[in-house]
């Protein structure tokens, strides 16, 4: 049985390139930097994205337009065809979550009569569940915007 401390690697570590150790080493005179130019001098760095003075690609591209609404709530989509799988023999099904509400859509068919309590539901989904003999209770209702009374003009 061999210990991990006694194991030796068959791969030799790669030697560091020694620069500027005379012309006989093969890396003397210019030390692998080439002749003249910005990269050959000390501190000659080129910033990321620099394209030699021409307009960089990042500036040519249009900025991302639009705006992401931080208050928008994307619902979890659920279809009528998924209800029977989720019920698992029960006659009542409750799906509710304030942070990510559930929305029932009318894709597919349902054969079992179920009472579904859900945050949101489409008209076609409600019709299909009621057609099968069930009932849908919508828990989360979006209220219509407040209609402001018309301002009276000063002339009247």
Rounded distance, CA 138 to CA 125, Å? 11
pTM equals: 0.51
Q: What average pLDDT does range 31-56 have in this prediction?
A: 91
pLDDT at 12 over 80: yes
Domains parsed from the chain with CATH numbers: 81-138 (3.100.10.10)
Residue 49 region by backbone torsions, left for phi larger than 0, else alpha for psi between -120 and 50, else beta: left
Answer with the residue of higher pLDDT: 156 or 149: 149
Angle (CA) 127-102-110 rounded to 5° is 35
Which has the minimum average pLDDT: 39-48, 112-121, 147-156?
A: 147-156
What are the DSSP E strand ranges found in the chain?
Answer: 76-79, 92-95, 102-105, 115-118, 120-121, 135-138
Q: What average pLDDT does range 22-46 have in this prediction?
A: 92
């Amino acid at each position: 049985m061999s210990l991990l401390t006694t194991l030796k690697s068959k791969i030799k570590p790669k030697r560091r390139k020694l620069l500027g150790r005379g012309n006989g080493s093969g890396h003397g005179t210019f030390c692998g930097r080439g002749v003249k130019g910005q990269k050959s001098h000390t501190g000659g760095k080129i910033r990321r994205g620099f394209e030699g003075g021409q307009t960089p690609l990042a500036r040519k591209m249009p900025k991302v337009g639009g705006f992401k609404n931080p208050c928008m709530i994307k619902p979890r989509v659920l279809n009528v065809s998924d209800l029977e799988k989720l019920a698992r023999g029960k006659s009542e099904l409750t799906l509710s979550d304030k942070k990510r509400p559930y929305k029932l859509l009318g894709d597919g068919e349902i054969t079992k009569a179920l009472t579904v309590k859900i945050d949101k539901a489409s008209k076609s989904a409600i019709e299909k569940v009621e057609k099968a003999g069930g009932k849908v209770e919508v828990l989360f209702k979006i209220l219509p915007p407040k209609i402001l009374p018309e301002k009276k003009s000063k002339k009247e």
